[in-house]
Every structure is written in structure tokens, then in C-alpha cells.
Structure 1
Amino acid sequence: MIRFKYVILYVQDVEQSMNFYKNTFGTEIKFITPEKDYGELLTGETSLSFASVSLAGTNLKKGFLTAKKEDQPFGMELGFTTDHVEALVEKAIQNGAVLYEDIAVKPWGQKTAYVKDPNNYLIEICTEIQ
């Protein structure tokens, strides 16, 4: 059996990054190493995880691109659904996110907005597709 188990974001400060998601989206911390260089949030069956850039570098000898605030976000996103898009966008901004695309309603009726988290990762905040 194959399962999609986790997504790991490479960040400068694991604990700070985890606290942004905990405080914004109400996720709980499942695990963080004593060194605070790796951690996982409880997000259902698939974990949202964080690794420090330095720890990731020990695993990926060929290197990798890091998310930088002065760059555009990577061509990927994390999606969170809610019935209250406006309120969650505001909460994300209060916790350090930056609005990237304002709230819009898609032709199929879904309400969406995009913010960049404090590490420049793109987050879609939206209603469920009906």
C-alpha cells in the first residue's frame, strides 16, 4: 500500500514556522526535535513538516533552492479550506503572512485567496469546491 504521508518545508527557523501554522490554522505540534531542526504538525493523515535548511542540506548533497522573501513564491501551494475565508486571511496576515492575491470568487463558486507565509511559501485559503 502506498500513502502520501508528509510534505516538508525547508525553513530557517523550524519552531517559528510551526508556530505560524499552529497559531493561524489551529494545527497542533505533533513532534519537534530537541535541536528544533525538524518538526511535524498534526494535520490529518498527511503531516505538514518542517526541516531546517541546514538539516536538509545534510540530506541533499546536490543542494536545493530555498524560499526567499525577495523572490516570487515557488510554483506550488498549500491549501486550507474554511467557510470564513476573509477571517482566516486576516488572521494569517496578523500572524506574519503577506497577502499575495486578494479574495476572488471562481466561476464555479469557490472563494479563494492567496497569502505568502513568513518563509515565502504560497498558501491558498479557500472554501470547499461544491
Structure 2
Amino acid sequence: MKFGHTIIYVPDVAASLNFFEKAFGFSRRVLHESGTYGELETGETTLAFAAHELGELNFPTGHVAAHDSPQPLGIEIAFVTPDVPSAHAVAINAGAVELAAPKEKPWGQVVSYVR
């Protein structure tokens, strides 16, 4: 078994694809003609976005809309780069909200968090 993909339910699939293209340099694999599902070309794994309407179909008792949640959800999607501060700045300039500025962890890894 291997990790297949991550799907993030969002209010605007096309806008989410555009953001990840601008902020992180990914290219678009597909945007369904309905506009409710799209994927980015990320290598061996797939990063996908689905409209909240699909979430309502898949989760009949409801789901938490990440963009409306006052706190970050208990999930992260990690991207690896040799220059975290520059990548962090590009993401902020593309419209991300900073959750944690770049910081070196005790084990030497530099990390930052954006939403």
C-alpha cells in the first residue's frame, strides 16, 4: 500500500488550483468540466480539491469547511524545499495566511505553516 492522494474540500476548486499553481509551482492535471473536482500534478501522489457540494454528497451528516474553521484542522500537507523562507514568502504573496513563520526545529529542519 502507498499514499494515493489528498482531497481538500473547498468553496472554489478552480481558485484553489490557481493558488497552488502560483504559490508552490505545481501544474494542473485536471479540472472537471463541472468545476467541482480538480487535481494538481505533484509527482507520485495526487493533491486534489473537491467542491463542498461533493462533500455534502459524500458525508451526509456534514463536514468541517477548513476555510471557515477558526483554527487549523488537524491535518497538514507537507511540501519539501531547500529554501523554506523563500517558499513561505511566495505562498504569502500568492494569498496564503501565515500560521507560523519559518523556524528551525531542534533537529535542524526548517518549517513554516501557511493556510
TM, length-normalised to structure 2: 0.93
Percent identical pairs in the alignment equals 39
> Post-superposition, which runs of at least 4 consecutive aligned residues in structure 1 deviate over 2 A?
none
For residues 55 and 71 of structure 2, the distance between their equivalents in structure 1, rounded to whole angstroms, comes to 21
Q: Greater share of strand residues, 1 or 2?
A: 1
Partner residue, 1:128:
none
SS in structure 1 at match of 2:44: coil
Q: Secondary structure at the match of 2:62?
A: coil
Distance between the aligned counterparts of 1:47 and 1:64, measured in 2?
21
Counterparts of 1:6-85 in structure 2, within 5 Å, are: 6-69=5-68, 71-85=70-84
Q: Quote the residue 2:114 is aligned against.
A: 115
Amino acid of the residue matched to residue 16 of structure 1? A
Contact 2:10 2:67 in 1 (8 A): no
Instruction: Using the TM superposition, name which of 73-82 and 62-71 deviates more.
Output: 62-71
CA distance in 1, matches of 2:21, 2:94: 10
5+ residue gaps, structure 1: 117-130
Aligned mates of 1:16, 1:68 — CA distance in 2: 13
- Partner in structure 2 of residue 86 of structure 1: 85
Backbone CA RMSD of aligned residues: 1.2
Q: TM-score, normalised by structure 1?
A: 0.83
> Is the partner of 2:82 in helix, strand or coil?
coil
Summarize deviations over 1:57-111 as a string: whole Å, max 9, x none: 1122121111134610101111111111111111000110011111111111111
Moved more, 64-73 or 102-111: 64-73
Alignment partner of 1:96 is 2:95:
yes
Q: Which has the higher helix share?
A: 2
Q: Partner of 1:48: helix, strand, or coil?
A: strand
